[in-house]
Structure 1
Amino acid sequence: MTSRLGNLALLIAVLLLAFGYGTTDIAAISEAIRDGASPAIAPWAAAMLVLAALVQSAQFPLHSWLTEVMETPTPVSALLHAGVINAGGFLLIRLADVILLSPAIMAVLVMVGGFTALLGGLTMLTQSAVKTSLAWSTIAQMGFMMLQCGLGLFPIALLHIVAHSLYKAHAFLSAGSAVEQVAKVRRPGPIAIPSGAAVARSFLVALLLYGLVGTFFGFDSKSPQAIALGAVLILGVAYLLAQGLADTAPKILTQRTALYSLLAGIAYFALQTIAEWLTQGTLPPAPEPRPLEWALLTLVVLSFGLVAIAQAMFPLWAYHPAAAGLRVHLSNGLYINAVFDRLVGGWARPRQSKKGASQ
């Protein structure tokens, strides 16, 4: 049902673009948009394209189909999560000029993608099955990619697709050996549990390193959207620093985590520069943010920063009774899958009884 919904939305978008621009050639449509052509029907086409992409890439609240197909053989899951799932993001990137015509639709992408990324990332941590955990990871990664498209960072979104495909294909294909390793080797827990002060120091150090690397590459040449996204990524690395800066942590761990944070900042700016260079003239640059975009950027940095802080302080509150209840709710995906299944249950094909099958 969700797949057919995505197909229908894409078909409507194609018809709207053909009616508005008199052609279905993507290059011709993009060229017309860059020359200033913007028919009144274009934002509706952008809305249909975004709906098709959200459905195809398993975004909230239509994400449950992806987590319920884990019974397939692992190589099939690898193909789905490293290939087919990227179709929605590729659609938005290929038609980036059309998407930029509607700031309201881009705002929807930021909010839906950002929420899906947070929900998927938190739910992933509570799953006991390897493949289900990887499925929620894919939902989170696709949400973050939609967030990038909503911010107008299409070259970075394309880079994200390539990186995620390579990582997720390897993760699925090595899932069996990962289970065997856990069964054979009892891995030790965290070396050091950070205090609140250590967490604060870690985020301060991470931001300082990010500022140092950004100054070297030149903040002036980067859009505000790219700078905010880099801050989100470096805050995601800060929880590693928190463990390294714990009072009981060995010195080598502190040095290693600081090096990881520095390398993460360098990799982000370097890969972003390469992606923008490779797609120059093909993909449009990020638009100048307006008040709505500034508000969304602030919301994104704050929300992802709070989740990173919660993750860094997880050992301190993991055994609190409230955390135990939250873990149960998150492990069930906040029951969104159950609600969706109940809503579409009337459309399901009735199962044939054993008696009828034997006859």
Structure 2
Amino acid sequence: MAALVALGGFTALFGAMVMLTQPAVKTSLAWSTVGQMGFMVMQCGLGLFPLALLHLIAHSLYKAHAFLASGSGVDQVTAARRPGPVAVPGLTAVGGAFATALATYIGVGLLFGLESKPPQVIALGLILILGVAYLLAQGFADHAPRALTRRTSLYALATTLGYFALHALTTAATGTTLPPPPAPGPLAWALMALALMSFAAVAVAQTLFPLWACHPAATGLRVHLANGLYANALLDRLLGAWRVNDDIHAHRRTTS
């Protein structure tokens, strides 16, 4: 189970970071699927099988729609009405967004019995608030219009409510069919802490990206991430795919 948490968490972060650098819609969606599959594996490693099942169903519906609608994605983005200019959040806005997301998570969670939830559920919810905080940071920026602030706050509240409500619904629907998460040992606690710190670091870096996007290191990192850190090339080399192609070309040259 610990190996699933480590492998799934790494895959989720890897797929998410590569996805953000892809210029093509379908390539971005494919890398998004890599990240989502990794996150589901991590959920299984934590023993959160009802949440993994819910994630699988929701991802199937969303990703099927996203792939089928990818051809009109550019038109939808260009035709979308924007509430104002792009707001770049500073450190104060980012800190306020994370504090608000945490307070929302605790407040809504207490309504659903957060204090009695297993540690794995609480840890996964804390990862959720990182995405909520990124959403709120756009509305908390100094020059963000009020319409954007209201909209992001409403979406953040709806996302948090949806997480707890769907979790409760899935747990009730599965009943005793799926086993409850086991009591975490020292290794599980360490992996949960590592996952939280890793996801938090990526979330903060992504939120503050406009402030350091012009740095040469950011440009170089983007190139490497856009190529998937060359994972495909390395795997092709390890599996001998290039040697097979070389043998085919050599055979064609000798027979021509």
- Structure 1 length normalisation: TM-score? 0.66
Give the equivalent residue in structure 2 for 1:280: 175
Query: Which segments of 5 or more consecutive residues in structure 2 lack a partner in the other structure?
Result: none
Q: In angstroms, what is the RMSD of aligned CA positions?
A: 2.2
1:348 pairs with 222, 244, 254, which one? 244
- Post-superposition shift, 1:234? 1.4
2:198 pairs with 303, 321, 324, which one? 303
> In 1, distance between residues paired with 2:253 and 2:240?
23
Give the equivalent residue in structure 2 for 1:214: 109
> In 1, distance between residues paired with 2:127 and 2:76?
32
- Post-superposition shift, 1:186? 9.6
Q: Secondary structure at the match of 1:348?
A: helix
Identity %: 60
In the alignment, does 2:217 pair up with 1:322? yes
1:169 pairs with 64, 81, 84, which one? 64
In the alignment, does 2:5 pair up with 1:129? no
- Post-superposition shift, 1:354? 6.5
1:247 pairs with 139, 142, 150, which one? 142
Query: Which segments of 5 or more consecutive residues in structure 1 lack a partner in the other structure?
Result: 1-105
Query: Which amino acid letter does the alignment assign opposite residue 149 of structure 2?
Result: T
Is this contact kept in 1: 2:85–2:144, CA < 8 A?
A: no
Task: Please identify which structure carries the higher helix content.
Answer: 2
- Post-superposition shift, 1:348? 3.4
- Post-superposition shift, 1:191? 2.1
Query: Which amino acid letter does the alignment assign opposite residue 27 of structure 2?
Result: T
> In 1, distance between residues paired with 2:199 and 2:47?
19
Give the equivalent residue in structure 2 for 1:195: 90
Q: Against the structure 1 CA distance between its residues 149 and 121, is the aligned structure 2 distance closer, same or farther, given a 3 Å change threshold? A: same
**Which structure 2 residues correspond to residues 94-105 of structure 1 after superposition, within 5 A?**
none
Query: Which amino acid letter does the alignment assign opposite residue 115 of structure 2?
Result: D
Which portions of structure 1, spanning 4 or more consecutive aligned residues, are displaced by more than 3 angstroms?
179-182, 184-190, 346-357
Higher RCO (CA < 8 A, seq sep 6+): 2
Q: Against the structure 1 CA distance between its residues 334 and 163, is the aligned structure 2 distance closer, same or farther, given a 3 Å change threshold? A: same
Give the equivalent residue in structure 2 for 1:151: 46
1:18-56 superposed Cα distances (whole Å, 9 cap, x missing partner): xxxxxxxxxxxxxxxxxxxxxxxxxxxxxxxxxxxxxxx
1:222-242 superposed Cα distances (whole Å, 9 cap, x missing partner): 111011101101111211111
Range moving further from structure 2, 118-127 or 172-181: 172-181
The structure number with the bigger radius of gyration is 1
Q: Secondary structure at the match of 1:335?
A: helix
How many residue pairs get aligned? The number is 252
- Structure 2 length normalisation: TM-score? 0.92
> In 1, distance between residues paired with 2:185 and 2:15?
29
